Structure 1
Amino acid sequence: MTLFHLKASFAVFVGACCLLLTVQVGRLPKDEVPLISVERGVKMAAVALNPVDEILRKMTLKQKIGQMIQVDVNKLIDADNIDARASLNKPRVEALAKLGIGSLFNTPFSGWNGRNTWTPDEWRAVLNDIQVIFAENGALPVIYGIDTIHGANYVHGATLFPQPLAAASSFNVDLVYRMGVIEAKDSLAAGIPWVFSPVLGIAMHPKWSRNYETFGEDPHTVAQLGVAAIRGIQSNNRSAACMKHFIGYSNPTSGNDRADSVINDFELLNYYAPPFLAAISEAKVRTSMETYVSVNGEPVVASHKLLTDLLRIDMGFQGVLTTDENEIRQLVKEHHVASSYSDALYSVYNGTSIDMNMLSNLSDATTLTEDLVKQGLLTEARLDESVRRILELKYDLGLLSKPTAVYEPPTPVGSVEDQQEAKALADESIILLKNEPKLPVDAVNPKTALPIEDPHATIFLTGPLADTKAFLCGGWSIYWQGTDNSSLIPHGITIREGLTRSYDKLQYAKGVDVDGNPVENRTELLEKAAKSSYTIVVVGEAPYAEKNGDVDDLLLPEGQRKYVQELTAIKSTNVILVIVAGRPRLLGGITTHAAAVLLSFLPCEQGGQAFTDIITGHVNPSGRLPMTYPKSTGNVHLPYFHRVNTECRDSFKDCPMEWIFGSGLSYTSFDYRDVTLSRHNVTSSGSLEVSMVVKNTGLRAGKEVVLLFISQKVRRGAVPEVKLLKRFAKVSLQPQASTTVRFTLTAADWSYYQPQIGKGFKSVVEPGIFHIQIKHDTDCKKDLHLCKAFRVLDDQASS
């Protein structure tokens, strides 16, 4: 719903609000307007046509400045009070209301006094009290925003989904859409309409601690899954998604969180921008958050080039743009490009289109901004631009017509149906990367190491992540940094619990902790492994978020690697290596002698059951790598779509990786045939259809991710990439069944954006030969049936 689709009931709400606030108006200073009432004298016809204009016209300078500020809710909470509603410090709320503060954010708990999350009812009660206090002081309703990374992770009992990088491993747009629907539903159940999600950065540095919050390294995949997530979040018409972090955050030069990024304009427009552009043009995302970092030495928060020229002019974004936490102040403290907070505010508001200043502490932000206007250093018209966007957002979400947290009775959170959706996504997030013949090899009826279908098989389960739900979830789970307390994770089971129910001869010992320190007698552990047909060892990382996840070395801790090496040295057991981490930790060769390898980038609460079902064979794995898994430190910062002239540390040709983008096996097999192009010559503005037949040639039902890449033989404007993914689809096939998959390609798929910013996106098509490659590991010199060439002609040439 937009401002031009205002319902007639708005007039009724105005009258009701006036009645509600009659006794409170007298408390306001003479020059203050009770904005929530829009004043009795306003003609209803005018209000019905354009309520935002009318509200904005009545606002004082102080009220406008207040709308542009977002305050951490922890400043309103008394930490020594366990009761949620009683913990609200109402005098502090009233002080913010008198300033007309526009938004609140964050989670109101940090583990103090034994609390960890609020129930939906507690959230709604507190937010309702806040809105009432604001209304009593003539202030507009606040809009509440919160980080919602993989479900409503700060709402007690809400379903926790796999982290986004795990979700991306599914390559299942429908499941990601439904994840968005549920996380918005559960947030609204708590009275929270603004969801700080999804992250649309492309994961360019495996060492970065926020990789698991992304949808991987590929621009097309991130764009498609980002669009799905946003459409899911905003499908109820009462929630706002927030695409973040605009732009370049995901390429830290050192791999450390918040390190600066160096990105040329060609790469910025052709790799980093497409997910954000798709979010705006296809998903109609309502809000955006800028990023902490500097790009090419310029802090993004103060960048006219990026936040005005690129985001507003070139991309056409018209929604609300907020800073990340304290970013304007960081121009003084972190970036050192401003001499004072006033100087920083001046630079940001005059140089960019930022609408909201996110603050952990209000401090003097309001008075300094007001001083800038009074000194003629900042125009009120500039503030009006931002306030209008904020009011339009609040109107679109129904906050102006219902200034409380309670829209209607909330739907339940954590339902069985919601958990089933999380389980489906967890199933498809798990990637089978290796599956060798089971030892000893049966010459008559050879079998692979997985699945283990014998419920009486002797199994030794070990490793630091084998008996934890918390470590399967990672950061942004109950707490910002996650938790090591699995009892706080509301649903699901551990891998140990799942496998214990499935196998009657399973033994368990932790072996080492997550840092690699031994916790049991090593000799006894190895003896247990030697006496077992299978040894399942689960390795990985402890939870972390942002800076706390920085590591000096991407290698998995030495103690974990050494333990796996000792286990794989035993010839009498089949070692199943299970990896659970938020990024691709270097493995140091431990996969070489493993019989099978499973990987998931944090499947969370349903991960224990999902791993169990895949190991037992009840679920056929279908995940695929959404980012390159490096093998050595020398080739870490190298996405699959690197330029053709990139030289690797130890090769002049291929860049050796542990596993390449798109890798993933199945318990069945798939055959591709009849790859056909509708034409082999196409005009630069034309289109063509690619079709192929995909057949399940195995004995099990399975799902296949069909990947279509394009490469350009010669490109004069910029060195071409090795290849770029342009389409993907996921198909489900019964044994021996087949289906025809069709993709339509257009000029956008063989063009690139000219490196110019602020003048609109200009696509360039260089006529020449292009190659289509089907599957992730296709070599066009060998797999001719999976490669097809076509020629792009000038528009004047015949097709």
Structure 2
Amino acid sequence: MKLTYSSFLLGSFMSFASVNTVAKNDITLWPTLEPAIKKNAELETRITHLISQMSLEQKVGQMVQAEITWVTPQDVKKYHLGSVLNGGGTFLHNNRNASVSDWVSFMDELYLASMDTSQGGLAIPVTYGIDAVHGNNKFIGATLYPHNIGLGATRNPDLIYKIGEATAKEVLLAGIDWTFAPTLAVARDDRWGRTYESYSEDPEIVASYAKEMIEGLQGKVNTANFLDDDHIYSTAKHWVGDGGTYQGIDQGDNQESESDLIKNHAAAYLPALKAGVQSIMASHNMWNGLRLHGSKYLLTDVLKTRLGFDGFIVGDWNSHSKIPGCSNDSCPQAVNAGLDMFMVVEDWKAFIGNTVDQVKDGIIPVERIDDAVRRILRVKIRSGLFDKGLPSTRKYANQKQLLGAPEHKAIARQAVRESLVLLKNNNNLLPLNPNSEVLIAGDGAENMSKQTGGWTINWTGEGNIKSDFPGGTSIFDGIKQAVNKAGGNAVLSPDGSFDVKPDVAIVVFGENPYAEWIGDLKSIAYQAHSHRDAKLIESLKSQGIKVVSVFLSGRPLWVNREINASDSFVAAWLPGSEGVGVADVLFKDNEGNIQFDFKGKLSFSWPKYASQVVLNRYDENYDPLFAYGFGLTYKDNVMLNKLSTKNDFIFETPVNTPYQIMQGRAKGDWNYQLQSGGQTKDIHTPSGNIKGLTMIEADKNIQGDAKEFTWSGANNASVLITSSWYREDLSQYLINKSALTFDVRVETPPRNELYVQMGCAKGKCAELNISPMLKEFKLNTWNTVSIDLLCFAKSGVEFERSSAPFVLTSEGAAKIRVANIQFEPNAQKMATLKCSE
């Protein structure tokens, strides 16, 4: 059956309509749990005494977590802030190469500021949160473990515990005490951009891992090692239902019944609570139309009361603002619902002022504030922050040798080996003889960015290069070591060309890195239009070469054509920094013996058809290509027949659909480029700079969906959305009477002209000065600009072969934020700047 995208949407809509008729909440469906740690009267008395000394402003300050870009140690002191974090795309002092000692020094500054009582402050240590989700992944040189989807394939809870222990030490060396991990999502739709953060499509594995990872990070509850000097406190996230949203849309609506929500998405939280997890992060998603950040039922009635959670609930990146009636700087609804600590990011000063006023006005009961502060103080005391002193004096502080320590790398290498899943091995091609002529092809073999995926150094994982991973190994490195050691020859050739015909080709390919909503898909068909990697494999096969495919991905994808062209096919997921682990399994040793057999078993069902975007075991009419739990070993002798390559999930882009150029990151094959004084820099990371111009990540509606550009005025400088190799025919948007539209927020008005341009064969075209318009806009508010595309066409832009669909240039000082750049069909008449008349 051919399933069109429109018919799929119709079916989903009908399902949505029926789901909204579910019965009202039923608390009796949930188990009743006691807190993992018995109530300590002495501790509670201590907390009561602290709260009695605090002003309302100090209490609300404890409930705020500000982002590192927008806060200083002086702010921590003045506003009594409870916590600081750094987002996925930001760095200490905007330096991605900040040293361990730099981090420890900054942690000292924050701590001293929080303990300063010279101006009436109360000495309450600040806590710092970091997303150490597959190792301490923000740090250059850290050990990076396979992402959760790969760990799910290992079926090894003991290994998860070891990873937690090792990660805690690599976090502690920076003076940091808290991580936003583990993710306990159960991804039910593989189009979701966070699927790789899920251990499995089924709660079975996720629940079995939750306790092990939390105990590895925190120590074992009610023992002497719980939250001792060897451990940090952890966060179970995201409560609850994040992996079950409609059509896999990130931050979307989970429409499951309450019993299914419990069975599928809450199951892993039960062992997490029993393991004594100290913080839980509320989820971005909705449950049947209600935002989790505003759900008193799920935050307070269920989690805190029924399930006995006595730690604190932390919000996710400005997610409270998505509740109707709320904004980044004001959300009494979330306070009253039970959110304890707010990740306010940038607008935290206004949030504190507004929340204080809302308490004084009776909108928020002071008892709710006191409960939130009690929970935060309880965790800070339990985790030893009141007793451990300066971060630089703690056991692991500045122990740089632990960053990427050999014993940690050995754990990661084992995790890589055990995460690999063998899907096809016709004629038992694997394991390979290392004493061979081996061609290594594909763009993933020597690509650490592709190998490590999202949440690696920066938020999306894009643009990282090999030097960012000192001591790490690419997949090619591992293959070369194994082959050279045996006297063979390994040749790296991404395009598959060769001078000497190889005995075997290993093609390493797959998804480019992404994070969260950026990674959402409409279809799970891999390279459905270009088929670039399939053509590479087929080309090698046509020359009589045996091919082993190593597929890098954050989810199962429909790759039937690629599987057909391969003799052996390995799902390698996102293996992390220790790519050498792949070669450990693919090759025999020098004596011809198997070194390591395949152990990995699918924790996600693998699709037979492109239409199987929702494919989970126990589904009605379950018909995968490879079932949950599948994974060949070298003992198996299984021949896989030819698979159908007909795509049954075809959808066409409607003619009136906008052409997206930028939404946080550049879309499609475009990338950012900065130009200044004859110098050009391609930017593949969330931030970058050149003389006279700086680009950083910013937010409009959700995390990272905007960019902030700052011109210093030192010289003429430009930011381009462009490509050094790619050209696209955008002429249809002229025919459709489109306008270039984008959202802009002026932080500092331009001192001189600021031009919007497009690339063209003749150089600069259509220098449209938007400075007068920008100066009219109210500062720090979002506005929309639209420009008739004819303004560019009449000035010589050739839309048939576009090289840069958006350029901003200025030689004067200015600071603006930009979001949602696109060509909007039929918007010509409404354009701010018109050229059609």
One fold, TM greater than 0.5?
A: yes
The match for 1:551 is 521
The match for 1:489 is 469
The match for 1:775 is none
2:92–2:103 contact (8 Å) kept in structure 1: no
Unaligned runs of 5+ in 1: 7-46, 77-91, 332-336, 438-447, 512-521, 648-654, 671-799
Q: State yes or no: 1:208 paired with 2:192.
A: yes
Q: State yes or no: 1:574 paired with 2:539.
A: no
Measure the CA separation in 2 of the matches of 1:321 and 1:106.
18
Q: Which amino acid aligns with 1:420?
A: A
The match for 1:348 is 334
Measure the CA separation in 1 of the matches of 2:308 and 2:182.
19
1:144 to 111, 128, 140: 128
Q: Which amino acid aligns with 2:555?
A: R
The match for 2:556 is 584
2:245 to 252, 257, 281: 252
1:661 to 609, 613, 628: 628
Unaligned runs of 5+ in 2: 1-35, 220-224, 589-593, 638-837
Change (3 A) 1:111 1:355: closer
1:567–1:575 contact (8 Å) kept in structure 2: no
Alpha-carbon shift at residue 595 of structure 1 (Å)? 1.4
Change (3 A) 1:470 1:340: closer
Measure the CA separation in 2 of the matches of 1:108 and 1:538.
27
The match for 1:611 is 583
Q: State yes or no: 1:434 paired with 2:409.
A: no
2:325 to 298, 319, 338: 338
Identity %: 28
Residue-by-residue CA offset, 1:524-544 (whole Å, 9 max, x unaligned): 56x86xx33312111111111
Alpha-carbon shift at residue 2 of structure 1 (Å)? 7.0
Change (3 A) 1:133 1:3: farther
Q: Which amino acid aligns with 1:618?
A: Q
1:249–1:292 contact (8 Å) kept in structure 2: yes
2:375 to 382, 389, 397: 389
Measure the CA separation in 1 of the matches of 2:596 and 2:581.
10
Measure the CA separation in 2 of the matches of 1:132 and 1:626.
46
Q: Which amino acid aligns with 1:356?
A: M
Q: Which amino acid aligns with 1:60?
A: S
Aligned residue for 1:659, secondary structure, equals: coil
Q: Which amino acid aligns with 2:370?
A: D
Alpha-carbon shift at residue 473 of structure 1 (Å)? 0.6
Q: State yes or no: 1:474 paired with 2:469.
A: no
Alpha-carbon shift at residue 571 of structure 1 (Å)? 6.7
The match for 2:405 is 415
Measure the CA separation in 1 of the matches of 2:39 and 2:407.
37
The match for 1:271 is 264
Change (3 A) 1:117 1:287: farther
Measure the CA separation in 1 of the matches of 2:207 and 2:149.
13
The match for 1:323 is 315
Aligned residue for 1:605, secondary structure, equals: coil
Q: State yes or no: 1:195 paired with 2:175.
A: no
Change (3 A) 1:326 1:339: closer
1:118–1:154 contact (8 Å) kept in structure 2: no
Measure the CA separation in 2 of the matches of 1:592 and 1:423.
29
Change (3 A) 1:341 1:113: closer
Residue-by-residue CA offset, 1:553-598 (whole Å, 9 max, x unaligned): 3222233343245236427222111101111122133212421111
1:574–1:595 contact (8 Å) kept in structure 2: yes
The match for 1:313 is 305
Measure the CA separation in 1 of the matches of 2:396 and 2:561.
55
The match for 2:74 is 94
The match for 1:533 is 503
2:165 to 178, 181, 184: 181
Measure the CA separation in 2 of the matches of 1:490 and 1:585.
31
Measure the CA separation in 2 of the matches of 1:128 and 1:298.
40
Q: Which amino acid aligns with 1:65?
A: V
Change (3 A) 1:560 1:315: farther
The match for 1:459 is 438
- 1:647-686 correspondence to structure 2 within 5 Å: 647=621, 655-668=622-635
Residue-by-residue CA offset, 1:451-487 (whole Å, 9 max, x unaligned): 012x332322201101122311101111111143121
Give the number of aligned pairs.
572
The match for 1:440 is none
Measure the CA separation in 1 of the matches of 2:192 and 2:587.
30
Of the structure 1 ranges 538-547 and 101-110, higher mean CA displacement relative to structure 2 is found in: 101-110
Alpha-carbon shift at residue 75 of structure 1 (Å)? 1.3
Residue-by-residue CA offset, 1:315-372 (whole Å, 9 max, x unaligned): 22111101101111222xxxxx216667x6221222x221101111114111111111
Change (3 A) 1:565 1:158: closer
TM-score by length of 1: 0.68
The match for 1:82 is none
Measure the CA separation in 1 of the matches of 2:542 and 2:102.
54
Residue-by-residue CA offset, 1:615-651 (whole Å, 9 max, x unaligned): 3442211111111111223222121122xxx34xxxx
Change (3 A) 1:340 1:220: closer
The match for 2:743 is none
Q: Which amino acid aligns with 2:343?
A: M
Q: State yes or no: 1:56 paired with 2:33.
A: no
Measure the CA separation in 2 of the matches of 1:451 and 1:506.
16
Change (3 A) 1:562 1:2: closer
TM-score by length of 2: 0.65
Measure the CA separation in 2 of the matches of 1:597 and 1:224.
28
Change (3 A) 1:222 1:312: same
Q: Which amino acid aligns with 1:430?
A: L
The match for 1:360 is 345
Alpha-carbon shift at residue 428 of structure 1 (Å)? 0.5
Alpha-carbon shift at residue 401 of structure 1 (Å)? 2.2
Aligned residue for 1:359, secondary structure, equals: strand
Aligned residue for 1:630, secondary structure, equals: coil
Residue-by-residue CA offset, 1:398-444 (whole Å, 9 max, x unaligned): 1122343232353422211111111111111111111111xxxxxxx
Measure the CA separation in 1 of the matches of 2:432 and 2:577.
23
Change (3 A) 1:49 1:543: closer
Alpha-carbon shift at residue 111 of structure 1 (Å)? 6.9
Q: State yes or no: 1:632 paired with 2:604.
A: no
Measure the CA separation in 2 of the matches of 1:328 and 1:109.
20
Aligned alpha-carbon RMSD (Å): 2.4
Q: Which amino acid aligns with 1:100?
A: H
Q: State yes or no: 1:218 paired with 2:202.
A: yes
